[in-house]
Amino acid sequence: MDVSSLTGGEVRGLGVTDEGRVFALLAKGDCQVGGHKQGLYELKAVEKSDFASLTPVEGTVISYDVGDGAPEGNISRLWGADGNELVVMRKRDGWGLSRMKVIAAATKTD
C-alpha cells in the first residue's frame, strides 16, 4: 500500500464492519496555511495483487488551518465499528459518540 502521502501523519482509528469493509481515519498536519488534512478512508484490496488502496470516503476529507481548528461536525476519532455502522467522535459531540454508516461505495479521486 502506498502511504507516501501520509508521511508524518497519524492513524486516528480503524473500524471493520460486519460486511468486512475496513475503514481508517487518517490525519496529517503541518504549520502551513491549510496544512492540516484528515479524512475517512476505505482500505480496499487490489484484485489479484498483494496491494491495497486507500480510497477517500466522499465528503469526509477536509483541509484546514490548525490555528482555526477543525470545522463543526468533523470526525475527530474513529473508535471502531458496531455491526455495519462506524462509531465515531465528531467535534460537536464533546465526549459523546455517534454512529454512521457509509452507504455509498467510497469514491476514488485522481
pLDDT for 66 equals: 65
In a domain, 73, yes or no: yes
Summarised one tens digit per residue, pLDDT across range 13-22 is: 999 999 999 9
Contacts 24+ apart (CB under 8 A), 20-28: 21/84, 21/102, 23/57, 23/78, 23/81, 23/86, 23/102, 24/54, 24/78, 25/75, 25/77, 25/78, 25/88, 26/54
* 30, part of any domain: yes
Is residue 48 one of the residues assigned to a domain? yes
Domain that holds residue 31: 4-100
Mean pLDDT of 84-95: 80
**Total domains present in the chain:** 1
* Per-residue pLDDT tens over the stretch 21-57: 999 998 876 655 556 778 888 988 888 888 888 888 8
